[in-house]
Amino acid sequence: MTYCIFKRPSEDQVDYSGFESMADDSNQSITPLSITRSKCNRQVKCCNIENICNQLDKIVDSLLIITIHIFFISIFEPIFYLNYVVTLEYDFIMNKIIDETNILYKQYIGYTANTRDFIDTVILGDKYKTLAKLKIKKDEVIEYKNTQRDVLYIQGIIYSSCILGFILLLSFYKYIRKRNTQFCKILLENIVMILFLFIYEYIFFNNFILKYNTIDTAEINYYGLLNFINYTTYHPMT
């Protein structure tokens, strides 16, 4: 049998050169602790800022969608109200006036000829001249209402322009952040929303609002006569 004998070097013969070279190499790769901490702090700060920006992006996305909805509604509502709702209200009031006139006419027919002549000459005076004067005032009021409507249109345009400016500001932010926004999808959704909103408003006003009479002819008769009696009672010399 063959034996292998390993000769262990003595303490005097130990070579420390290898250890010295390893120590030198390790010393070269050591980074100061202060520099490492500063790099970590910068990385933590960058991560926090990025997280804040990501949360802000989500808020801006929500605000952008909501603001575009409001923008389309701000265009729809003035047009719908001034051109449709106002007409419904006007027709409602005129119908009440016609109902009141029919009641007065029935009472007028029930009077004697002398009483009717007294009403025509003393109370109404020259009714055709009175009607002509009232027509002048009516035309002035209609002209003022048309002017007022134009002013309201301009006011609505100003409101819509402010909302549009806010939308552009949000879009500019998203452009800086280089975040894509599906404007075509948002516009399509809003157009569909406005169409459904118009259908709903039309059905709502015709089948809900108009079904309920805010004031009836009987109330007009009562409160009209009541106010007249109170006025002539407390102001007899006027």
Q: What 3 state SS string does 62-99 have?
A: HHHHHHHHHHHHHHHHHHHHHHHHHHHHHHHHHHHHHH
pLDDT (tens, 9 = 90+) of the chain, 238 residues, equals 444 444 444 545 545 455 445 445 545 555 555 555 565 666 656 677 777 777 887 888 888 888 888 999 999 989 988 888 888 888 888 888 888 888 888 888 888 888 888 887 777 777 788 788 888 998 999 999 999 999 999 999 999 999 999 999 988 888 887 777 677 888 888 888 888 988 988 888 888 887 887 777 788 878 877 877 777 676 655 5
- 220 is a domain residue: no
In this predicted structure, what is the pLDDT of residue 182? 74
In this predicted structure, what is the pLDDT of residue 127? 75
In this predicted structure, what is the pLDDT of residue 23? 47
- 168 is a domain residue: yes
The Cα–Cα gap between 118 and 19 comes to: 134
- 235 is a domain residue: no
- 208 is a domain residue: no
- 72 is a domain residue: yes
- 121 is a domain residue: yes
The Cα–Cα gap between 216 and 172 comes to: 55
Looking at residue 6, what DSSP letter applies? P
Q: Which domain holds residue 57?
A: 36-196
The Cα–Cα gap between 83 and 85 comes to: 6
- 81 is a domain residue: yes
The Cα–Cα gap between 209 and 203 comes to: 9
* Helix, strand, coil share (%) of the chain residues, nearest 5: 85, 0, 15
Q: Whats the size of the chain, residue-wise? A: 238
Find how far residue 217's CA is from the centre of its chain: 37
What's the number of domains the chain is made of?
A: 1
- 214 is a domain residue: no
In this predicted structure, what is the pLDDT of residue 158? 94
Q: How open is the CA angle 166-172-176, to the nearest 5 degrees?
A: 150
Residues 6+ apart with CB under 8 A from 149: 82
Give the global pTM. Answer: 0.62
In this predicted structure, what is the pLDDT of residue 43? 62
